[in-house]
Structures are given as C-alpha cells and as structure tokens.
Structure 1
C-alpha cells in the first residue's frame, strides 16, 4: 500500500466518527464565528520510507505570529476557488512548491484562532527532497520533521496560558531546535487522532 493510499484510507475512516475531545482551538472563545477570515494551510507529507512534514518558520518582522513555526498557508483570497486552491497558492508563494507536485488527499477539521481566522488544513503527499526556496518576506526558513514523531502523543505536551484575559490550552512539540505549538500543534494532534497513527 502506498503512503497516499494509507493516508487516504485512514483519513476517511477517522472522519466516520466524532472526536470525543476538545480540539484545543479558540472556537469556544469567539462570540461570532462569521466574523472570522478564512484561511488554509497545506499539510505536505513527503513520500519516503520515513515520511516527513514540511513546515515554515515565520520571520520575526511579521505582524502576525512572528517567529512561529507553521504549515505553509495563509488567507483565502477572493480569486481562490476553494481552500485547496488557497493552500496550494500559498505554498507556492512561500516555498516555491509547484502545485503539480502536490497530490491532495483531502480536508480535515478546521480550526478557529483567537487572532481571527478560520483555518482549513489540507492533507497532501509530495515527492521527497524537492528544491524549496523560501520567500524571505514570508518565510525565515523551512524544515521537515518526521510524521511519526509529530503524531506520537508522547512527543506533545499540554500547556495553559492567558491571552486577551482568557485562559487557553495549547499543545507544544519540540523537534530539534524548533518549537511547534498553538494551532499548528493542535492540527497535528487532531490529525493523529483522525489517522489513528
């Protein structure tokens, strides 16, 4: 069975039932979900014996989420056909990932952020060792971390913090010198439960 087949079957099976846990997003702290700006991120899994996931690190000079690790992605623009189109466009803009290399598997659960976004993750498979080039206006660096490591609950810790006067729970994963936390780690936690990895 190919990696793509494995992920597709696991994702479909995982979405047959409701998750019985909080997704650690900001949904419960937002009064009106209609005011959120739609966004999409690409979960790009590399097709290798030990699959990895591509991440970007935001530059420190960015207004929103400076220095944070994230999936390639961003706001859905009016010219985007759907979240998949937006995620592919953003990944191309940020790291020069050509959409012809992306095999989209499907969508998983959206996350709502306290910073005002409704984020739609798009799961995909890409060839390994593509020659990514980071756009310095949006990406300080990019890296690949092992999928199995990211989805292993032993490698995630849960934390509590206060933001805008409210207590929030969030996940945190460390891979080498990178801190993956907040919505990105929450998406990984949820993906692990959907895939039963």
Structure 2
C-alpha cells in the first residue's frame, strides 16, 4: 500500500458517531459538520456503515492517481458513504476547479465534472485546461456558468468550511481520507479495501 499511514482519530468518525461535546470543543473539531454538511457532494451508499471523507485538490497528482481506485472500491463495496471535501490549496486554478465542480452539483453533475478534472494528467493544470475537460463531460455549460454566478456565495462558504475543517483536523495536504476511525493519505485499490475492512472491525469491537 502506497504511503500507508493510519492514525487513530480516537473514534472521531467511527460509525458516524461524535465524541463527547467537551472533547470536540477541546480539539476544535465539529464532527457533524465534517460528516454531514448538507452542501457537500456525496456518493456511494447514503446509508453506508462506513463513511469516507475525501479532502481533494484538482491539481494534486496523488489525488488523481487514487481517485479511480477510490471510486472502484466504493462502488464494489456497496456499503460506503463517500463525502467529497473540495479543498483547493495548491494553485489559483485549483480554486476554479473546485468552484465549477460544486456549481455542477446544482444540475446533478458534480460526479461528471469531478471525474473530468481528476482525469487531467499532471500538476499545474490551468483554468483553460479544466474548462476544456469539463466541456467534454456532458455538462450543460450555460447552466454551469449561471449556477456558478447565482450560487457564488454558497460555494465560497462551503470552501471556507472545508478549509476550517481541514485545519481543525491538522491536515497537511491532499489527498487526505478519513475512513471510519482512521486518517490516511494516498491509497491504492487494495489499500482502500483493507481500510474499509479494518474500519468495520474497529467499529464492531467498540
């Protein structure tokens, strides 16, 4: 498994249950906001027994490398709830990518734009390259532009919440995955599957 670094979060996300309020305040972490922000895009099984929270940047090569494996692992498992946290920290174009992905959510197209942006090879991808990739995704571009303008405030607010959540967790970069009670960085398909199994084992043992 690549860059396998599991760190226990003291049950922070185990089975989707929160730590005692006093502990959360002490750590400065809002578990419910991380797990269940209604504006955050989600995939997988909404009633899954393990929640995966993915903090990603569209200019992150490690995010791009692991994205297909994560999608495959979630799809094949069938019992994973996946929450996307767009966390554009690398370049100005990263912010643009996050904005258009989140704007696409209003026409039910977040997944399409997410896949299109993650499929662009390399790092340092420009806004122009991102827009070109989105043009081939099947998204209604006129609606995308309108939603980007109409919901600019909501999108900015969500990105700020994602940033605050990442900082409260002490995340240092992308990708960062919260898998049940674990925090990890880049994984491959086998690594995600193993993490799902271990998360369930830990949850069952509590």
Higher helix fraction: Structure 1 or Structure 2? Answer: 2
> What's the TM-score once normalised by structure 1's chain length?
0.31
Structure with greater contact order relative to length (CA < 8 Å, sep ≥ 6): 2
Comparing both structures, which one devotes a greater share of its residues to strand?
Answer: 1
